[in-house]
Amino acid sequence: MSSLDEKASAANVNITQRVLTLIIGRLLVIFLLLISSWIWHSGRLQLSFDSFPQGLFLVFIFSVGLTIVYFFLLRLSSSIGWQIRTQFLLDGLLITWLVWRTGDLTSPYITLYIVLISVSSFFLRPLNTLLMAVTCVAMLIGLAILTSTSVIESSGPQQELGKAIQIVSFHVVAFLVVGLLASRLSERRSSGQELEQTAKTLASLRVLHERIIESIRSGLITTDLDGKIYTFNAAAAEITGYTSDDIRGTSIFDFFGDIRIPIRISLEASEKGEQPPRFEGDLVTPDGFAVRIGYGITQLFSESNESTGLIITFQDLTEIRSMEESVRRKDRLAAVGRVAAGLAHEIRNPLGAMRGAIQVLESSTPPGSIHSELMDIILKESDRLNSIITNFLSYARPPAGEFLETDVAEAVREMFKLLRHSPDIKESHELVDDSGPDAIVIAADTSQLKQIFWNLARNAIQAMPDGGKLRVGLENTPNNRVRITFEDSGKGMSPEQVEQLFEPFSTSTSGGTGLGLSIVYQIVRDHNGAINVRSIEGKGTTITIELPKDNRRSPAARVSEEESDSESQLNRYLNVKAADSEVSS
């Protein structure tokens, strides 16, 4: 509303300036006309009062007085139109009076009528300009009639009736021709102003349209009938990673893939008056990652209700689908947790008895015999089975963490020291520590933090059996958090493997039990952190962990947690919000 008021105020100021120019310009023209007439009547540059044009001087005096009145009216009244018409009417009367005082039909100032008609075309509409010409004709004819019938005294030589009619007719034709031309000029001027105003309005509407398009938080694409993209808003660029310059002019089928069937279904629904359905698909970003999107298609119509193209709106569903998968994962973990405590203990107890019995039998078996070798195999497999059960219990019944001030950078450096002496490290492995020399202190359980780093590092090394590069980065992020990045150049994973990465007993790329990363996931969530995964098959994997710096727990909470049994601990874990896993292919 304020913008409309500003435009109206600017238009009024423009008209007022034009009227002021008319008032001052009229006074200057009359003054110059007075001086030139004085010189003309004197016949030389030496002026004398005997040759002073008294009639024109009176017109000048009247004009000065009227100019003062015009200024006051312009200040007091906001109606400009009637003031302009009144001024031109008074100008016509002054010219008529001047013509009467300077020779009637033989006056050289009859030409001022033509000037008046021409000037009026810059201030009046075409019809009013033509009426101004008719008014000047009426004034001249009236003056000729009044002087010829001696109603008023003529100041010029007596003219024959035929001669007077000839002079008047000539001037009438000239006034009307000038009036017609001036009205055409006024029409073109008005059309030009309207065109300019329309152009400004269209420009404002275009800017408004662009701002509305750019402010929409959903991705928006418009195409022509051939599927060429010509609108690509900021949200679309943010979701897809492409810029509008990269996409504009390309085919929608190159960008979205073959969506002819969704287009046909949407158009048929629109023709039936139904709501067009929503569709889902994958978009590949310039970095090669897949983004899950939900999109809808509608027709784009012109003002004449003709179809001119398509409107496609879409949203990023990657995070939503990730949350849905996290919910499903939590349900599966709950099923595992319900049988965790009882089943693990039921297996472990007879396993211990079996191991003790085998050790007794082994003591009475000759070394090197086939029975001794079989017993060694049984003992090793029982140890492996015991290790699996221990990891499973650690996952199902995590110990209560003691949150103390921990230097994350120092924990990363200690992990690298252990990793360099690991038998899995080969000369073809490149270990890069980008944690930096500065200490980054957070509130965390030191042993659990080291367990996270060790599990992720070993998984990365096992994903690079023929060698590769492992880089660990550490940086501060906004909102008082710390980001730790594990980036390897190993085999990578498929989207299905990434989705199941943190599930217990999932298929592991390293050949383990699949509990290591499940424990990592649980520890991160217990630290109120988030873990994200990006992986491309054959190119490597990047795992990003974000942890809050201030993550202290009250002593009462720790005591309560330590006193809770395994079932309550598992339920506490299962009620923690699922991690945000970014799955990319």
In percent, the amount of the chain with pLDDT more than 70 equals 80
Any domain includes 456: yes
* For the ranges 32-46, 315-329, 409-423, the one whose mean pLDDT is highest: 409-423
CA dihedral 42, 43, 46, 52 (to 10 degrees): 10
Residues 76 and 138 in one domain: yes
What is the spatial distance between Cα 455 and Cα 75, in angstroms, rounded to a whole number?
85
Q: How far is CA 494 from CA 2, 239, 325, 327, 534, in A?
A: 57, 22, 16, 21, 10
What is the spatial distance between Cα 471 and Cα 201, in angstroms, rounded to a whole number?
57
Check residues 135 and 325 and name the one with the higher pLDDT: 135
First to last CA, the chain: 50
CATH number at residue 493: 3.30.565.10
pLDDT at 356: 81
What is the spatial distance between Cα 417 and Cα 411, in angstroms, rounded to a whole number?
10
Q: Note the pLDDT tens digit of each residue in 76-115.
A: 766 777 888 888 888 888 888 888 877 888 888 888 888 8
Residues 351 and 460 in one domain: no
Paired with 476 in beta bridges are 482
Residues 271 and 301 in one domain: yes
What is the spatial distance between Cα 94 and Cα 56, in angstroms, rounded to a whole number?
10
Question: Would you call 441 helix, strand, or coil by DSSP?
Answer: strand
Which of 206, 236, 259 is the C-terminal boundary of a domain?
Answer: 206
What is the spatial distance between Cα 119 and Cα 114, in angstroms, rounded to a whole number?
9
Which of 316, 337, 360 is the C-terminal boundary of a domain?
Answer: 316
CATH number at residue 290: 3.30.450.20
Contact 205, 140 (CB under 8 A): no
Any domain includes 552: yes
Of 186-190, 197-201, 279-283, 504-508, give the lowest mean pLDDT range: 504-508
Residues 40 and 158 in one domain: yes
Check residues 425 and 191 and name the one with the higher pLDDT: 425
Q: Is the pLDDT of residue 417 over 60?
A: yes
Check residues 368 and 334 and name the one with the higher pLDDT: 368
Residues 88 and 168 in one domain: yes
Q: Scanning the structure block, which residue is given the tokens 């009244």? A: 77
Residues 547 and 527 in one domain: yes
Q: Is the pLDDT of residue 351 over 70?
A: yes
Question: Which domain does 299 fall in, by range?
Answer: 217-316
Check residues 47 and 357 and name the one with the higher pLDDT: 357
Q: What order do you get walking across the sheet with 468-477 strand by strand? A: 429-434, 468-477, 481-488, 540-548, 530-536
Residues 357 and 503 in one domain: no
In the chain, the number of structural domains is: 4
Q: Is the pLDDT of residue 508 over 60?
A: no
Check residues 232 and 45 and name the one with the higher pLDDT: 232
DSSP 363-400: HTSPTTSHHHHHHHHHHHHHHHHHHHHHHHHHHHSPPP
* For the ranges 143-157, 244-258, 473-487, the one whose mean pLDDT is highest: 473-487
Residues 285 and 376 in one domain: no
Contact 548, 542 (CB under 8 A): no
* Strand 429-434 relative to strand 468-477, pairing: parallel
What letters, b where the CB count within 10 A reaches 16 and e where it falls short, cover 425-443?
Answer: eeeebeeebebeeeebebb
Residues 405 and 523 in one domain: yes
Residues 94 and 183 in one domain: yes
Whether the full predicted model's pTM is greater than 0.75, yes or no, is no
pLDDT band at residue 50 under the 50/70/90 scheme = low
* For the ranges 62-66, 342-346, 431-435, the one whose mean pLDDT is highest: 431-435
Residues 307 and 353 in one domain: no
What is the spatial distance between Cα 180 and Cα 118, in angstroms, rounded to a whole number?
10
Contact 516, 455 (CB under 8 A): yes
Any domain includes 581: no
Residues 36 and 156 in one domain: yes
Which of 255, 290, 316 is the C-terminal boundary of a domain?
Answer: 316
Q: Note the pLDDT tens digit of each residue in 355-391.
A: 788 887 777 777 777 877 888 888 888 887 777 777 6
Of 10-19, 342-351, 431-440, give the lowest mean pLDDT range: 10-19
In the DSSP assignment, the letter for residue 513 is -
Q: Which two tokens stand for residue 304?
A: 């004449």
Any domain includes 529: yes
Average pLDDT over residues 302-327: 81
Contact 529, 516 (CB under 8 A): no
Paired with 297 in beta bridges are 312
What is the spatial distance between Cα 104 and Cα 158, in angstroms, rounded to a whole number?
10
Any domain includes 579: no
Report the half-sphere exposure of 569 (CA within 13 A, side-chain side).
23
